[in-house]
Amino acid sequence: MSRLIVGPFNRVEGDLEVRLDISAGMVADARVVSPLYRGFEAMLVGKPALDALVYAPRICGICSVSQSLAAARALAATGSVPVPANGGLAVNLIHAVENVADHLTHFYLFFMPDFARAVYAGEPWHADAAARFAAVKGTAAQDFLPARAELMNLLGILAGKWPHTLAIQPGGSTRAVSRAELARLGALLAGFRRFLERVLFADALEAVAALSTRDALLAWAEAARGDFACFVLLSQATGLNRLGRTDLRHMSFGAYPSSDGPLFPRGLFRRGVGGVLPVDRITEDVSHAWYQAAPDGAPRPPRDPGMPPDATRDDAYSWCKAPRLEGEVAEVGALSRQLVAGHPLPRDLVARDGATVEARVVARLLEVALVTMAMERWLRAIDAAAPFIDHTPLPAAGEGAGLTEAARGSLGHWVAIQGGRIANYQIIAPTTWNFSPATPPVRPGRWNRRCAAPRCETGRPSRWRYSTSSALSTRAWSARCIDGGASHPRAGPCAGGGLPAPCLAPGAGAGHRRQRRQRWRGRGHPRLGEAATLDGFQNRLGEGAPPLARIDTIEVWPHDGPAPQGFTIAASAAGTVRTGIVPDAATCPACRAELFDPADRRQGYAFGNCTHCGPRLSIVRAIPYDRANTAMAAFPMCPDCAAEYANPADRRFHAQPTACPACGPRLWLEPAPDAGTDPLDAAAALLRAGGIVAVKGIGGFHLACDATDTTAVTELRRRKARDAKPFALMARSVDEVGRYCQLDDAASTLLRSPAAPIVLLPRRPDGPPLPDGLAPDQDHLGFMLPYTPLHHLLLARLEGPLVMTSGNRSDEPQVITNEDARDRLAGLADAWLMHDRAILNRLDDSVVATTSGAPVVLRRARGYAPAPLPLPAGFDGLPPPWPWAGN
């Protein structure tokens, strides 16, 4: 065994050392050392809160804006500081310029020069690569640096300067831009696009963004002539798709928020499966970092103050703390971001080869194309006449987290303020995720893993490739932690959708005495009888089950004592929770029929439902799924409803959210219409007149307007400051959808399914004309059908489809409470159609596309969440499950 110490490393942003233990020519152990400590977190304590905006960007010169943004968001989160639409757009643009410049700086100045090294002199491609990419002297640097400088000119206008701007504030951007400046910014951006399309890609950005498989990428690279194609070919020649392979959870905090969600979402991804990121399960470990151990020895969450440095520890070797997610290493960066976002190209690369050097570089450059196109849209969405900043003051005390994505990966700042001054400030930078020291039990950081496999070429250590870029000036963290233990075994049972009378009816016919008991372990069906009959009963249990029922397991155990009499549903018993909640479901045909039946007591009532349909996850406060644990607890059942609820033969037997006009939620319009006017009639009249109405739905508020009214659509787009992203549409029937779009059976079935998602459908060329502003430059429209009685009643009063877009402002999630709707949708809506059934879980509309008849869920939320996704093979025995929810 011998030890090789490699360093200083070139072309990183900061200082880095690698220690290798070598045995029989192979690397036996690798340690990545960050040898510099700067102490930012301690520095910030005691400073006036807003001074963080001065210090934070100076943590890192290459991701200065990301640091500003994380600080501004953390400060804003200590209170409630709204960001006007322009502020969000301007900050996105500033952030995007930095991130795109970082990707290209990494590519042209840090990464590609390695191909020019003498060690490759024998390769047939070396002479060309050296002429193009040699450090400082190659022609690529001469092309790139002026293009980078001109891109940075956007920041001269938008941010005063780069790096280290103070333009980014909790309430938006200090720098309002005029229409003339918007035009100039557009021209600068066009110049940058031209550089990308002539030099880097030698093809349209759209063509790069559309590459979806490794095969397509290779075919494209054979034909293209730009520097990216050159990389792809060199990567094949040098096998970069086999180097630096990891198999970790990929993590993204999400980036570039807008009124209709972030450009890149927050989440996790591993082995083909996405998941929700439990941010509160991030901790920092100092087992092998030069910090004092916490008194309890445990890793600490970043909300807690860090421990002071301790350079005397013999068991430590780095100034990087080790951030962990649920106790595990996670990978961050452009590849992780694009895997989480679901772009097909990186997903295909990783499915074939794992996360490799090649995949990481491809993801960076793919992101250059995607983000540049998004910048063009954001620029167009800025309204020079509207405000760029909100001046709501910060509270004197509070805590907040600011999460964003630097080019190199997830960045988080956690702040606590007391008396207007910073009481605690903790930073977890991307580099610490990727370059962290080991934590017990030996769980090396990502880079350690990357190093430990390949054969060591002693004497030629410089052939290493690290596509992980590091921003090492960002270290200086403190100790924090969490215990990463798993708590919920991933039990399958996910009942609660009502396994009521119908599925029990067969048993009743067979003359059995049954007892049904709801337990926190799920709903079991203990029963009494002879073995053969009982088997038959068991087999038939699922046959008559209602649409929403799902039996995951049936537990059978012997019964002692006297046989119970009759059929009862026992009260839920306390125990370990193993059930889940079923998704919300669209109004079923029976309930819809009642809605328009003049003889029915629920005719015209906006909140009817039964065991086949209605709100579920959106109204659940706790499990087990009983009315007392839902938003319906506020509405005691009237005798009629209670009778239906108790009758096993009724469609509403144990329908937890059941309601009627006598006892259930009520509907109203604000501002109130003339006395005596039905709120739905008034809302319909407003919509017909071109108004915009906020409509409270199942999982949040929508903003609705007449989809056939060009003026209304344009106005809605202006008020939301929404760029070119298409609006979702709601039509009263499949037939009406068919007037505008081409429909096949698969699409019709999807539209009618209980999930009632937004289905992306190709427009009919011969369809009736619709405003261009609905879905600019799109040949598809996103349609859904009414999925609540309220929607049915509203659509029935109108002649055509409605725009139903999420009710929110830029940078904010969809509004779910009435108070927030009044407050945050002021200026966006002309009226509010509201009700008093609380939405407890926010759920966006799900979005589904069909390809060759097969549905592909693009956004898995209302109607799908929280139904479990099966884990692929290889995940058996995975200890900590990831909580699933609408995302």
Partner 1 sequence: MTAVSEPTRPLRLLWLQSGGCGGCTLSLLGAEKPDLLTALAVANVELLWHPSLSEATGGEARAILEAAAGDGPPVDILCLEGSVINGPGGTGRFHLMAGTGKPMRDWVAAIARRAGYVVAVGSCAAFGGVTAAGGNEVEACGLAYDGTRAGGLLGADFRSARGLPVINIAGCPIHPGWFTDTLLQIGAGTLSATDLDEWERPLAYTAHLVHHGCARNEFYEFKASAEQPGDLGCMMENLGCKGTQARADCNIRPWNGGGSCLDGNYACINCTAPGFEEPGHAFAVTPKLAGIPIGLPTDMPKAWFVALASLSKAATPKRLRDNAARPTPALLPHDKRKDSA
List the interface residues with partner 1, window 520-549 (CB under 8 A): none
The residue among 88 and 726 lying less far from partner 1, judged by its C-beta, is 88
Nearest distance in Å: CB 161, partner 1: 4
Question: Among residues 69, 93, 100, 141, which is the contact residue for partner 1, using CB under 8 A?
Answer: 141
Looking only at residues 169 through 188 of this chain, which bind partner 1 when binding is defined by CB under 8 A?
169, 173-176, 178
CB of 309 to partner 1, least distance (A): 7
SS3 labels along 138-162: CHHHHHHHHHHHHHHHHHHHHCCCC
679 token code pair: 């709120």
Q: Which of 236, 292, 462, 817 binds partner 1 (CB under 8 A)?
A: 462
Which of 162/447 has CB closer to partner 1? 162
Encoded amino acid at 354, one letter = G
Our CB check for partner 1 shows the closer of 130 and 277 to be 130
Phi, psi of 718 (to 5 degrees): -65, -45
Q: Which is nearer to partner 1, 101 or 759 (CB)?
A: 101
Among 391, 488, 559, 601, the residue binding partner 1 under the rule CB under 8 A is: 391
Q: Out of 117, 271, 303, 739, which residue is the one contacting partner 1 (CB under 8 A)?
A: 117
Angle between helices 85-105 and 357-381 in degrees, nearest 10: 150
Q: Considering all CA atoms of the chain, what is the largest pairwise distance in Å, rounded to the nearest integer?
A: 91
Min dist. Cβ of residue 258 to partner 1 (A) = 21
311 vs 599, beta carbon nearer partner 1: 311
398-406 and 267-270 strand pairing: unpaired
Among 48, 239, 767, 872, binds partner 1 (CB under 8 A): 48
What Rg value do the Cα atoms of the chain yield, rounded?
29
Q: Which stretch binds partner 1 (CB under 8 A): 132-140, 483-491, 678-686, 784-792?
A: 132-140
> Element (H or E) spanning 365, and its range?
helix 357-381
* Per-residue CA distances from 816 to 494, 559, 762, 821 (Å): 25, 47, 31, 7
Binding partner 1 (rule: CB under 8 A), the pick from 80, 123, 131, 146 is 146
In this complex, which beta carbon is closest to partner 1, that of residue 117 or of residue 688? 117
Tell whether residue 244 is a contact of partner 1 (CB under 8 A).
no
Q: Which is nearer to partner 1, 230 or 655 (CB)?
A: 230
Q: In sequence order, what E strands does 390-479 have?
A: 398-406, 409-418, 421-428
As a whole number of angstroms, the distance between CA 617 and CA 496 comes to 10
- Contact between 309 and partner 1 per CB under 8 A: yes
Figure out which of the listed residues 64, 68, 515, 814 binds partner 1, where binding follows CB under 8 A: 64
How far apart CA 154 and CA 93 sit, in angstroms, is 9
- Interaction with partner 1 in 371-390: which residues (CB under 8 A)? 385, 387-389
The CA distance from 164 to 756, in Å, is: 47
CA 813, 817, 818, 823 torsion: positive or negative?
negative
Q: Which helix (H) or strand (E) holds 129?
A: helix 126-133
Which residues 679-708 are close enough to bind partner 1 by CB under 8 A? Answer: none
Question: Binders of partner 1 among 757-776, rule CB under 8 A?
Answer: none
Spatial separation of the C-alpha atoms in residues 512 and 516, rounded to whole Å: 12
Choice between 153 and 236, CB closer to partner 1? 153
* 113 is a contact residue toward partner 1 (CB under 8 A): yes
Q: Which whole-number Å values give the CA distances from 362 to 121, 702, 704, 755, in the listed order?
A: 25, 37, 40, 36
Judged by CB under 8 A, the residue of 22, 27, 28, 47 near partner 1 is: 47
Report if residue 114 touches partner 1, rule: CB under 8 A: yes
* By the rule CB under 8 A, 148 interacts with partner 1: yes
Q: Is residue 110 a contact residue for partner 1 (CB under 8 A)?
A: yes
Is residue 637 within 8 A of residue 607, CB to CB? The reply is no
Q: Does 407 bind partner 1 (CB under 8 A)?
A: no
Rounded to a whole number of angstroms, the minimum distance from the CB of residue 257 to partner 1 is 20
Residues 12-41 that bind partner 1 (CB under 8 A): 12-17, 33, 35-39
Binding flag, residue 753, partner 1 (CB under 8 A): no
- State which of positions 423-442 bind partner 1 (CB under 8 A): none
**Shorter beta-carbon distance to partner 1: residue 251 or 428:** 428
If we measure between CA atoms, which residue out of 372, 373, 844 comes closest to residue 617? 844
List alpha helices for 382-530, DSSP H: 430-434, 446-452, 501-509
Residues 6+ apart with CB under 8 A from 115: 125, 126, 129, 130, 133, 234, 238
Interatomic CA distance for residues 564 and 46, integer angstroms: 68
Instruction: Give the integer Cα–Cα distance in Å for 374 and 121.
Output: 40
d(CA 606, CA 619): 16
Site residues (CB under 8 A) for partner 1, limited to 463-522: 471, 473-474
CA distance 317 to 218: 41
Q: Is 292 in the site for partner 1 (CB under 8 A)?
A: no
- DSSP, collapsed to helix, strand or coil, labels residue 667 as strand
The size of the interface with partner 1 (CB under 8 A), counted in residues, is 88
**Rounded distance between C-alpha atoms, residue 735 and residue 737, angstroms:** 5
Residue 233 Cβ vs partner 1, minimum distance, rounded to whole Å: 21
Q: Contact with partner 1 (CB under 8 A): which of 145, 207, 623, 858?
A: 145
Q: Indicate whether 155 belongs to the interface with partner 1 (CB under 8 A).
A: yes
Among 27, 134, 218, 505, binds partner 1 (CB under 8 A): 134
Selected range binding partner 1 among 11-19, 371-379, 676-684, 709-717, rule: CB under 8 A? 11-19
Which region, judged by CB under 8 A, interacts with partner 1, from 46-54, 578-586, 649-657, 741-749?
A: 46-54
Residue 688 burial class via C-beta count within 10 angstroms: exposed 0-12, middle 13-18, buried 19 and up: middle
| Of 91 and 834, CB closest to partner 1 | 91
Q: Which stretch binds partner 1 (CB under 8 A): 110-118, 224-232, 699-707, 762-770?
A: 110-118
Distance, in Å, from the CA atom of 805 to the CA atom of 824, rounded to the nearest integer, reads 15
68 binds partner 1 (CB under 8 A): no
664 binds partner 1 per the rule CB under 8 A:
no
Q: Closest distance between partner 1 and the C-beta of residue 419, in Å?
A: 13
Q: Which stretch binds partner 1 (CB under 8 A): 113-121, 426-434, 757-765, 875-883?
A: 113-121
Closest residue by Cα to residue 467 from 135, 235, 211 = 235
